[in-house]
Structure 1
Amino acid sequence: MRWLAGVDGCKAGWIAAVAPAEGRDAAAIRVLPRFSDLFAGEIVPDIVAVDMPIGLPDRVTGSGRGPEQAVRALLGDRQSSVFAIPARCAVEADDYEQACALALAHSEPPRKVSKQGFNLFPKIREIDTVLRAELAMCKRVFEIHPELAFRTMKGEPLTYPKKIKGVVNPPGMAERRALLQEAGLPLEAVSARPPRGAAADDLLDALAALVVARHIAAGRGKPFPDPPGRDSHGLPIAIWTFVSQTVSRRIEP
């Protein structure tokens, strides 16, 4: 049996929604301290869709990596959810001021690092370490962005943000739960209480990633850009979503 996982970062590490590739069984939800733990249990997923940047260019031209620039135009008012990830040397910096200095020196036009983006760097480095140690895993691990996944499910940009000034927005959460149900996830998964160490929006983002993983496994994955780029270590640089007969005409950039 093949297994799939949708993964998102959370306060306690990583939240993973794991389910069989065949059928529509409820996903098993678990929180893992490290990304590598996903591949160390009894059930090891064959396809992982994760909400975290993969592939870091040595220099950035424009507002972030190519995938970030490509998908923003599809998201309407949700564009700000796609952070601009800087060059590899900046992501590898532990100090915020140093990261900003390196980002400025390796971008055109020069751009510093946002605090929100900087807070992602430890998790980006986690995935980077795992994939660089075993490049073959790049065929199993795919970068996604939840807002692009939800936009693809709906066929147009979402109406409501999931958070407003850092506080969960009920209409936005309801909109996303409805889309997950329409995508075939059972009500018990969509309405479940998140495990300790993860928030409700983390759970929905992991489930959105699982939806993308199912489409990738079925051969309906769509990368931005297509084909994906590669960084100097051979890691792919692309954000993945999916296409179907009902939405393929509406997600072209």
Structure 2
Amino acid sequence: MSAGLRVAGVDGCPRLADGSGGWIAVIIEPGNAMKAERIDRLAELVDRPEAPQIIAVDMPIGLPKRVGPNGRAPERLVRPRLGMRQSSVFSMPSRAAVYAALDPRLPDEAERYRHACSVARATSEPPRAVSRQAFHIFGKIAEIDGLLRERAALAGRIHECHPEVSFWAMNGETALDLAKKVKNAPHKPGLALRRRLLAAQGFAEALTSPLQARALKVGEDDLIDACAAAWTARRIAHGQAIGFPTPAERDGEGLPIQIQA
């Protein structure tokens, strides 16, 4: 693909108090100018007049009807490459379990979680519940899933990535030895390591800085992960990305099941 494409990396982030801004996007313009912004929904990014032609998003795409041991193929393939960071790769349940967690008839979060776990156990072999971490991103997974099922042509523009797999590739296909968070708090040495890797790939210090994260009201790790996703989007645009698996598998709706880096 042409080097003149506009690409973006997207990561989920907590919404603001008014309910807006559930995603952080880092956009690389033709000519390599870069900017970061909050967006409310992914459709807003793909439908704007100067929309990115390629988007890499840190969120699962392609949900199986039933799940075997250790989750989807992408998860099984990337975990061994990440060393101590492999716990960052969540096992995704079936599509039915994801949507069970969002059942509007169940207003209580604890009840929705139990319902999602029940459906996940019934659609996995061996029976497996869902993790709390995965449960809390099911709304965003369903947003992407719904968008791609309604608009099949977007499957060629929106691609799944995972920041730790992107950093593995960025680091000479070597797992990073420092975490971004320790006990759910930012880990400055791990964040600094990732900023150095991004700087070597042309991401300005000002773009990845704590000051920029505060200005956008996002976590430092969310901003850094969106930058890693943008790096992957650029590799996809240039035909340089690594796919897990290759070729991509497909779910029952025809959506690709593949992590790219």
TM-score for the superposition, normalised by structure 2? 0.89
Instruction: Tell me which residue corresponds to 1:169.
Output: 187
Pairing partner for 1:157 from 171, 175, 178: 175
Letter in 1 for 2:260: W
What is the rounded CA distance, in whole Å, between the counterparts of 1:43 and 1:185 in structure 2?
21
The structure whose residues are more often strand, as a share, is 1
Stretches of structure 1 that go unaligned for 5 or more consecutive residues are 242-253
What is the rounded CA distance, in whole Å, between the counterparts of 1:202 and 1:3 in structure 2?
21
Stretches of structure 2 that go unaligned for 5 or more consecutive residues are 16-21, 103-111
Pairing partner for 1:179 from 197, 204, 216: 197
Instruction: Tell me which residue corresponds to 1:15.
Output: 24
RMSD after superposition? 1.1
- Say if 1:186 and 1:197 are closer, same or farther in 2 by CA, change over 3 A: closer
Instruction: Tell me which residue corresponds to 1:47.
Output: 54
What is the rounded CA distance, in whole Å, between the counterparts of 2:216 and 2:32 in structure 1?
25
The structure 1 segments of at least 4 consecutive aligned residues displaced by more than 3 Å after TM superposition are: none
SS of the aligned residue for 2:257 comes to: strand
What is the rounded CA distance, in whole Å, between the counterparts of 2:127 and 2:201 in structure 1?
41
Q: 1:87-236 residue pairs with structure 2 within 5 A?
A: 87-93=94-100, 94=102, 95-155=112-172, 156-191=174-209, 192-194=211-213, 195-236=215-256
Instruction: Tell me which residue corresponds to 1:246.
Output: none
**C-alpha contact 2:5 2:237 (8 A) present in aligned 1:** no
Q: How many residues are aligned here?
A: 239
What is the rounded CA distance, in whole Å, between the counterparts of 2:151 and 2:157 in structure 1?
11
Letter in 1 for 2:31: G
Letter in 1 for 2:52: P
Structure 2 residue 21 is matched with structure 1 residue 4? no
SS of the aligned residue for 1:55 comes to: coil
Instruction: Tell me which residue corresponds to 1:24.
Output: 32
Cα drift, residue 198 of structure 1: 1.7
What is the rounded CA distance, in whole Å, between the counterparts of 1:73 and 1:205 in structure 2?
20
What is the rounded CA distance, in whole Å, between the counterparts of 1:69 and 1:214 in structure 2?
25
